[in-house]
Amino acid sequence: MNEQRRLRVALLGAGSVGSQVASLLLKQGDALAERTGAQLELAGIAVRNLDAPRDVELPRELLTTDVESLIVGSDIVIELMGGIEPARTHILTALRAGADVVTGNKALLAEHGAEIFDAADQVGASVSYEAAVAAAIPIIRPLKDSLAGDRIDRISGILNGSTNFILDKMDREGMPAAEAQRMATDLGYLEADPTLDLAGYDAAHKAAILASLAFHTKVSLDDVHREGIESITDEMIEGARHAGYVVKLLAVCERLTEPEGDSVSVRVYPALIDRQHPMANVHGGNNAVFVEAASAGPLMFYGAGAGGRETASAVMGDVVSAARRHIAGGVGVGESPRLSLPVAPVGRIYTRYQVRLEVADAPGVLQEIAGIFNDAGVSVATVDQTQVEEGPDGARSRAMIVLATHRAREEALRATVERLNASDVVVDVVSVLRVEGE
């Protein structure tokens, strides 16, 4: 019997995900050998600070600050440092040295994916990144392999666990945003720089990765229209509830079919979701991804979208695949960005909107507002009016009007909002939110 092959595995980073991956590699050696046909030897763990506290106790002799020496001679390099540099340089070094790379670095792939994938293609190595999107949920491999023979028209989903946790706490428990943010931090859901989550960058990185795979087109962070949850107030959450909605940070990757040709729209923004929609029931740090494909129809993927151990599961799956490829030989299957569809600006999308206005409560006001929507070609579906203030003599002086539109083009809605802002009868355009998932 041949002696079992040994594969050297280098781990870069021992944060909340990295330390869990190290622990799994160390504890599950025999099980991994059965699945891969090779002994996976954790050759070392590159860290910035040898003495930093870790979620899991790791053998001191495996820790090193000498990343280059660890990479050279490794068969599989797992990059879980995050950030652009030095992660980018280390991954390029690993690929040029002939290693397969496993990474969870969504920012790097969304901003420098083309360079990384080209480098892998040149040497026939593989770059796997299941952990980069929606943590434990398998979504990269389904898009890259299982659905590669189908035409994907739309992906919509909740791709950021921490903002979902925060919005969910605000909605279901009436918790102030700051307190919910503190809890998300304690659970390890938020990125080291929380702006990445709160301003929608993290979801935008993930949306760019999914859109690239789904539409066989290079989509980078700059192509993604991005709005975060910083402007979402307790009052907006309450207003949404009153109208039968819940606010979710939604990512939408959509193929637009127009007479002038197909294009793609990729966007991240807080949106209203009907409380009956399955997405409204994605609670806590969970993620959900809905894929609409021409032949497969609608598919839903659901599960943990953040967390060290959960994300480590996705990393380990990629490590097993990389080990099998190393044993079997042959080149890694690269990306397929050959369709090269143009990316459309957000003004070209069609969706529904909810517009909340504070207005003067006087005769003719409703008619003027309806006229503004009509002139821009935006069709109003429902109107709800409530009195908000008593005048000095008890007469009504202000009212809150909530208008829901039919599907309209974003450009037309923007023109409407500009005219509402300029109108004498409108005291304030309180909020404008898209309504998705219907």
The phi and psi torsions of 332 (rounded to 5 degrees) equal -70, 145
> Which residue, 189 or 353, is less far from ligand HSE as judged by CB?
189
As a dihedral over the C-alpha atoms of residue 35, residue 38, residue 41, residue 46, rounded to 10 degrees, the angle is -70
At closest approach, how far in Å is the CB of 32 from ligand HSE? Answer: 24
At closest approach, how far in Å is the CB of 149 from ligand HSE? Answer: 29
Which candidate in 106, 169, 206, 248 is catalytic?
206
Residue 130 is classified by DSSP as G
> Which residue, 132 or 246, is less far from ligand HSE as judged by CB?
132
> Which residue, 74 or 160, is less far from ligand HSE as judged by CB?
160
Q: How many CA atoms lie within 13 A of 28 on its CB side?
A: 16
Best CA proximity match to 280, nearest among 115, 54, 87, 435:
435
> Which residue, 191 or 223, is less far from ligand HSE as judged by CB?
191
> Which residue, 24 or 400, is less far from ligand HSE as judged by CB?
24
| Burial class of residue 387 in the structure, from the number of CB atoms within 10 Å of its CB (0-12 exposed, 13-18 middle, 19+ buried) | exposed
> Which residue, 305 or 437, is less far from ligand HSE as judged by CB?
305
> Which residue, 63 or 180, is less far from ligand HSE as judged by CB?
180
Six token digits for residue 98: 């002939």
Q: For residues 358 and 345, what is the distance between their CA atoms, to the nearest angstrom?
A: 30
Amino acid at 28: Q
At closest approach, how far in Å is the CB of 262 from ligand HSE? Answer: 30
Look at residue 204 and give its three-state secondary structure. Answer: helix
User: In angstroms, what CA-CA distances link 435 with 163, 199, 250?
Assistant: 18, 19, 10
Q: For residues 268 and 19, what is the distance between their CA atoms, to the nearest angstrom?
A: 30
411 within 8 A of 355, measured Cβ to Cβ: no
SS3 content of the chain, % helix, strand, coil (to 5): 40, 30, 30
Tell how far CA 430 is from the center of its chain. Answer: 27
Amino acid at 136: A
Look at residue 131 and give its three-state secondary structure. Answer: helix
| Burial class of residue 123 in the structure, from the number of CB atoms within 10 Å of its CB (0-12 exposed, 13-18 middle, 19+ buried) | middle
Chain residues in the site for ligand HSE (CB under 6 A): 135, 160-162, 189-191, 197, 202, 305-306
Six token digits for residue 258: 């127009």
At closest approach, how far in Å is the CB of 128 from ligand HSE? Answer: 16
> Which residue, 160 or 423, is less far from ligand HSE as judged by CB?
160
At closest approach, how far in Å is the CB of 314 from ligand HSE? Answer: 10
At closest approach, how far in Å is the CB of 212 from ligand HSE? Answer: 17
Length of the chain, please?
438
Would residue 106 show up in a list of annotated catalytic residues for this protein?
A: no
Q: Report which residue's Cβ sits closest to ligand HSE.
A: 162
At closest approach, how far in Å is the CB of 253 from ligand HSE? Answer: 17
Best CA proximity match to 319, nearest among 67, 95, 103:
103
At closest approach, how far in Å is the CB of 158 from ligand HSE? Answer: 9
Q: Which residues are catalytic?
A: 206
